[in-house]
Amino acid sequence: MSNPASPESANLPARFSHARHVQAKAVMEDYVEMISDLLAEMGEARIADIAQRMGVTHPTATKAVARLKTAGLAVSRPYRGVFLTEEGAALAEKVRARHRTLVDLLIAVGVPAEVAELDAEGMEHHVSDAALAAFRTYLAK
Residue 15 has pLDDT above 70, yes or no: yes
Q: Report the share of the chain in percent with pLDDT over 70.
A: 91
Q: Could you tell me if 70 and 106 lie in one domain?
A: no
Instruction: Tell whether 27 is covered by a domain.
Output: yes
pLDDT for position 4 = 56
Instruction: Tell whether 6 is covered by a domain.
Output: no
Q: Could you tell me if 17 and 69 lie in one domain?
A: yes
Instruction: Tell whether 61 is covered by a domain.
Output: yes
Q: Give the other-Cβ count within 10 Å of 19's Cβ.
A: 10
Rg (alpha carbons) of the chain, rounded to whole number: 18
Residue 8 has pLDDT above 80, yes or no: no
Q: Could you tell me if 95 and 77 lie in one domain?
A: no
Q: Give the other-Cβ count within 10 Å of 102's Cβ.
A: 23
The helix or strand, by DSSP H or E, that contains position 29, with its residue range, turns out to be helix 12-42
Phi, psi of 87 (to 5 degrees): -65, -40
pLDDT for position 5 = 58
- The answer to whether 84 and 48 are in contact (CB under 8 A) is no
pLDDT for position 105 = 96
pTM: predicted TM-score of the whole model, two decimal places: 0.80
pLDDT for position 6 = 59
What is the number of domains present in the chain? Answer: 2
Q: Could you tell me if 27 and 73 lie in one domain?
A: yes
Q: Could you tell me if 72 and 94 lie in one domain?
A: no
Q: Could you tell me if 69 and 99 lie in one domain?
A: no
Q: 98: domain CATH number? A: 1.10.60.10
Report residue 5 CA to chain centroid gap.
36
More confident call, 78 vs 127? 127
pLDDT for position 69 = 96
Q: pLDDT tens digits, residue range 19-36?
A: 777 778 889 999 999 999
**Which range of residues forms the domain containing residue 96?**
89-140
